[in-house]
Structure 1
Amino acid sequence: MDATLEGKICSFCGKPGSRKNRLAGGLGAMICFECIEYFHQDISSESRVAAQTRPVWDEMSDADLLHTFTLVLRSAEQNTAFAGEWVELLRRRKLSWAEIGKALGVSRQAAWERFSTTSTSRRRDASA
């Protein structure tokens, strides 16, 4: 499993991880310390919570929405990569495609079709 910050982004603001912009995360989502502080202050303030009557995207311009949409897709791609890494971990531990499929609520075949090429190409890239 790749625990480096290289290529990872904050799932909340989209900033890339680095030595200066450390990320914390789990289960695919990553968050930078700046966002942790912001959201902590946000939920700790009764007045800020009360002032939130509409979703943030209702206040965004079309340009802001388009920019944020690209960040949403980057975060989704990051989560897909994390899922592939988890499947690799499960397969290294000799769990079957049937067990993985059952955990996902799909057939063995569907799990294999979704993840086998990802794990195979990642192994090939690592050995190159």
Structure 2
Amino acid sequence: MAITREGRICSFCGEPGGPGTDLQLMGGLGAQVCARCIDDFHEMLHDEELRAAARGASPWDSMTDAEMLATLPMILSSAEQNLAFAHEWVDLLRTRRVSWAEIGRALGVSRQAAWERFARKTGDKGATA
């Protein structure tokens, strides 16, 4: 099983990217970041005024209700992308024959809780393995 960046979004700006698009994504563990956001963060890290401004109020403090509502779908898309990555990661572990008990231990839950959370999506019926 190969994990790809196809169909992913930048976890920071919400723009779709990956193969077949002009927006190249980098990152891992579900979170993806585009080159434009990397450039913006790099500029901020090397500009004292921008860093000082970033230490100030949170972005949502200056947003209107409409702007916050418009941002909500992007937040959920990013969360769903991370959850989908977790499912892909569990799929990879299962193809390596890692047991549900080991997966549960890594997540701090029981074997059954891990299976209930991930097996239904992956189609893995090996509850006892």
TM-score by length of 1: 0.89
C-alpha root-mean-square deviation of aligned residues, in Å?
1.2
Specify the SS of the correspondent of 1:79.
helix
Structure 1 residues not aligned, in runs of 5+: 122-128
C-alpha separation between the residues in 1 aligned to 2:29 and 2:47? 28
Going by fraction, where is helix more abundant, 1 or 2?
Answer: 1
Tell me what 1:41 maps to: 43
Measure how far apart 1:67 and its partner are. Answer: 1.2
- The answer to whether the 8 A contact 2:9-2:78 is kept is yes
Mapping of 1:19-98 within 5 angstroms?
A: 19-52=21-54, 53-98=56-101
TM-score by length of 2: 0.88
C-alpha separation between the residues in 1 aligned to 2:12 and 2:52? 21
C-alpha separation between the residues in 2 aligned to 1:43 and 1:3? 29
- The answer to whether the 8 A contact 2:5-2:25 is kept is no
Letter paired with 1:35: C
- The answer to whether the 8 A contact 2:102-2:111 is kept is yes
Measure how far apart 1:98 and its partner are. Answer: 0.3
C-alpha separation between the residues in 1 aligned to 2:53 and 2:10? 25
Moved over 3 A (4+): none
C-alpha separation between the residues in 2 aligned to 1:44 and 1:50? 11
Whether 2:4 is the aligned partner of 1:3: answer yes
- Which of these residues, 110, 117, 122, is aligned with residue 119 of structure 1? 122
